[in-house]
Chain A
């Protein structure tokens, strides 16, 4: 951008003769406007995050100070200690919740990937009866928001004894991530020419060996990106978690953090600190996904 601005508006003596329309329409005028608007947008978007981080490191009295203190407050990490350590020592309820989240999100993502990748491969490679209808049906299970199905699922879970168990959450998250995984990975498999597998089968490999040895390695970036999305969904999920779990030992982080708000007093420092801890993994994962999504699968050995 900087280069084109310099080209569009040369040094001072010439600049005065530049037609006004041009200065408004393109060149520096636009770039200044762009930067200004982007700055406003960034402030609006980032202020809550900034405030959350500030609150998480303020003393309680500074949190409630009027007028609000932006810079001149004392930094404390006490809230972060409270997130992880119970008042009497040992694991806090929140750390148990974080561990539960880790377990539920991790296992459901692994399950969805293990089931979804072979399904995606099969949908991409084989001729199946009513393949498009099947794929549409699979996708359609994602049309309904969780809140619509949560009551029936609650009733079913009560009958089979899955209420308030990690397994119950793992199953429902797997079911929700599976369609997404199948659709995403199928797109990546479609990009890999089937001829690699054909050639491998003529080389002497079985169909599954051909997939594992020659197609699967090419899918790894795509599968990784898909898995991270599934992980983020499971990690962030709130509606199922709050309906289907009740005890502190099973509850995942989103309902546990929400549970901090309410009652007679709210420890905003603790809420902010646990929110920061909760947001960090998602930020890291999102950063990892970003590259894979843009790059896609790189191939090169086939002439089309």
Chain B
């Protein structure tokens, strides 16, 4: 068993409200990612669950039992810190053995557990080194091993891959997913990297300024963002947003363009709207069921694809295209839109106006 339930977590540091009623429900055995920009309260949420932060309000339940006032040691959790926090005077072996030593396990059991976990993470040859003699990636593995050496209720990970270079980060992503699957344990994973969230998570909670914006599977968060902010934060290149309003069976753009009104929106006529269009649902090569007139603004080749910036009125649309595409800035072109996959948001509240069933 390993469920983590946070209910209405609130915490302020002086005048800064770090957490403002954060509620999360982490099911047993899930890979639960808390996603948000820096300063959103992700780390504070994790530290509150771990018992390292005293809360102003709210409760933490572990396996259904109220653990709000418990000391970190009594919560039976393991945590990987963003800066690894390896004990500098201790060898990698001693670092990994520390959770078992703290719990007074017999030396033979400790040696066996450290052997097993260092085999799993391929760090056998590093065990006698001190943290100062390890590279960033090696320190990260040792920190991971220190958490994985026990079988706690849940694993808490605070941006464990942020300090690694890109290649290593991609490798470790796969490896963490593999470890999660083989252990079947509960992971609560904090990151500001949406790629990590989308690729690893069973469930994603999107956090902004201490408030949960949306909880759902990666597909739900990406396909049906609850509001304009989530739509803008998740996805790369970022979603393009065009000001418009609904009139009869048309969507009329603030810049004068017009598209058929999608059947799935609940927006009434005349209300100021934002039309959200993801780059892969747009095309400059005549696909899709509606089109916007614009002019070529810039071309951004990314290797496997090219992002074309198209100016529509005063706004820039990011359009995904073949890597071989070419053109000259200023050139007139038509952007076709897959309206079935577009999003509409209330321009003042930012809330999604897409019907839940579409």
The residues of A with any CB-CB pair to B shorter than 8 Å are 193, 195-196, 198-207, 209, 214, 217-218, 299-304
The answer to whether B86 and A301 touch across the interface, beta carbons within 8 angstroms, is yes
Interface-located stretch among B26-34, B98-106, B309-317: B98-106
The answer to whether B87 and A202 touch across the interface, beta carbons within 8 angstroms, is no
The answer to whether B89 and A217 touch across the interface, beta carbons within 8 angstroms, is yes
Cβ distance A13 to chain B, nearest Cβ, rounded Å = 52
Cβ–Cβ < 8 Å partners of A196 in chain B? 85, 87-88
In the complex, B50 has a CB within 8 A of chain A: yes
The answer to whether A202 and B84 touch across the interface, beta carbons within 8 angstroms, is no
Q: Which residues, 120 to 167 on B, are CB-close (under 8 Å) to A? A: 130-132, 136, 139, 146, 163
The answer to whether B81 and A300 touch across the interface, beta carbons within 8 angstroms, is no
The answer to whether A206 and B71 touch across the interface, beta carbons within 8 angstroms, is yes
Per the bound structure, the CA–CA distance linking A204 and B51 in Å amounts to 12
In the A-B complex, the 3 residue pairs with the smallest Cβ-Cβ separation, listed nearest first, are A301-B131, A204-B102, A300-B132
Cβ–Cβ < 8 Å partners of B319 in chain A? none
Cβ–Cβ < 8 Å partners of A300 in chain B? 88, 130-132
Cβ distance B151 to chain A, nearest Cβ, rounded Å = 13
Which residue, B87, B103, B136, has most C-beta atoms of chain A within 10 A?
B87
The answer to whether B83 and A202 touch across the interface, beta carbons within 8 angstroms, is no
Q: Contacts A198-B52, A303-B163 given; indicate if A204 touches B103 (C-beta within 8 A).
A: yes
> Taking chain A's interface residues, is the majority helix, strand, or loop, or is none over half, making it mixed?
helix
Q: Contacts A217-B89, A300-B88, A303-B136 given; indicate if A205 touches B83 (C-beta within 8 A).
A: no
Cβ–Cβ < 8 Å partners of B71 in chain A? 201, 206-207
Per the bound structure, the CA–CA distance linking A195 and B98 in Å amounts to 15
| Chain A residue, CB-CB nearest to B87 | A214
In the complex, B235 has a CB within 8 A of chain A: no
Q: Which of B73, B136, B139 contacts A205 (CB 8 A)?
A: B73
The answer to whether B50 and A202 touch across the interface, beta carbons within 8 angstroms, is yes
Q: Which of A203, A207, A214, A304 contacts B83 (CB 8 A)?
A: A304
Per the bound structure, the CA–CA distance linking A202 and B70 in Å amounts to 12
Cβ–Cβ < 8 Å partners of A301 in chain B? 84-88, 130-132, 139
Per the bound structure, the CA–CA distance linking A304 and B87 in Å amounts to 15
Per the bound structure, the CA–CA distance linking A302 and B82 in Å amounts to 9
Cβ distance B253 to chain A, nearest Cβ, rounded Å = 47
In the complex, B77 has a CB within 8 A of chain A: yes
The answer to whether A200 and B98 touch across the interface, beta carbons within 8 angstroms, is yes
Per the bound structure, the CA–CA distance linking A301 and B146 in Å amounts to 14
Cβ distance B345 to chain A, nearest Cβ, rounded Å = 39
The answer to whether A195 and B103 touch across the interface, beta carbons within 8 angstroms, is no
Cβ–Cβ < 8 Å partners of B51 in chain A? 201
Per the bound structure, the CA–CA distance linking A105 and B77 in Å amounts to 47
Cβ–Cβ < 8 Å partners of B83 in chain A? 193, 195, 302-304
Cβ distance A73 to chain B, nearest Cβ, rounded Å = 55
In the complex, B238 has a CB within 8 A of chain A: no
Contact with A along B68-83 (1 / 0, CB 8 A): 0001110001110101
Can you give 28 contacting A-B residue pairs, CB < 8 Å?
Answer: A193-B83, A193-B85, A195-B83, A198-B85, A199-B146, A201-B51, A201-B72, A201-B73, A202-B50, A203-B73, A203-B101, A204-B73, A205-B102, A206-B73, A207-B71, A209-B102, A214-B87, A217-B89, A218-B89, A299-B88, A301-B86, A301-B87, A301-B132, A301-B139, A302-B84, A302-B86, A303-B83, A303-B136
Cβ–Cβ < 8 Å partners of B130 in chain A? 300-301
Cβ–Cβ < 8 Å partners of B131 in chain A? 300-301
Per the bound structure, the CA–CA distance linking A201 and B87 in Å amounts to 13
The answer to whether B102 and A203 touch across the interface, beta carbons within 8 angstroms, is yes
Cβ distance A289 to chain B, nearest Cβ, rounded Å = 22
| Chain A residue, CB-CB nearest to B13 | A127
Cβ distance B81 to chain A, nearest Cβ, rounded Å = 5
| Chain B residue, CB-CB nearest to A300 | B132
Cβ distance B190 to chain A, nearest Cβ, rounded Å = 14
Cβ–Cβ < 8 Å partners of A205 in chain B? 73, 102
Per the bound structure, the CA–CA distance linking A293 and B342 in Å amounts to 64
Q: Which of A193, A202, A217, A304 contacts B73 (CB 8 A)?
A: A202
Cβ–Cβ < 8 Å partners of A209 in chain B? 102
| Chain B residue, CB-CB nearest to A195 | B85
Per the bound structure, the CA–CA distance linking A302 and B78 in Å amounts to 18
Cβ–Cβ < 8 Å partners of A200 in chain B? 87, 98, 102
The answer to whether A202 and B88 touch across the interface, beta carbons within 8 angstroms, is no
| Chain A residue, CB-CB nearest to B103 | A204
Q: Which residues, 219 to 267 on B, are CB-close (under 8 Å) to A? A: none
Per the bound structure, the CA–CA distance linking A300 and B136 in Å amounts to 12
| Chain A residue, CB-CB nearest to B163 | A303
Cβ–Cβ < 8 Å partners of B146 in chain A? 199, 203
The answer to whether B89 and A202 touch across the interface, beta carbons within 8 angstroms, is no
Cβ–Cβ < 8 Å partners of B79 in chain A? 198-199, 202
A202-B78, A300-B132 given. 16 additional CB < 8 A pairs? A193-B85, A195-B85, A196-B88, A198-B79, A199-B146, A200-B98, A201-B51, A202-B72, A202-B79, A202-B99, A206-B73, A209-B102, A301-B84, A301-B132, A302-B86, A303-B163
Which residue, A195, A196, A214, A304, has most C-beta atoms of chain B within 10 A?
A195
